[in-house]
Structure 1
C-alpha cells in the first residue's frame, strides 16, 4: 500500500499526464479488503448473551 500511495503522489505531482489507474485500483482494493476484514472481525467476535428470567 505505501508503494501505491507513493506512486500515485509522484505521478500526480511530477507527471500529470501519466496514467494513474493502477495505483488507484490498488488503493481501492486495499480499502475494500480492509473494510471486509473489519466487518468479518466485528461479526465474528460478537457473543450471544442470554438473560435468565
Structure 2
C-alpha cells in the first residue's frame, strides 16, 4: 500500500471503524477492508539547484 506518508494508515482506519482499538496486531478472524489508494505522483529524477 505504500508508506504512511501516502495516507495508507489513515485510509485503512477510516475504512474499518474500531480497528485501532484492536492494537497493532489485528487478531486472526477479523476482516479488514483495504481501500484503493490513488496512484502516487510521479517524481522527477532531476534535482534543481538554485544559485
* TM-score, scaled to structure 2: 0.28
* TM-score, scaled to structure 1: 0.28
Higher relative contact order (CA 8 A, sep 6+): 2
* Higher Rg of the two aligned structures: 1
Q: Which has the higher helix share?
A: 1
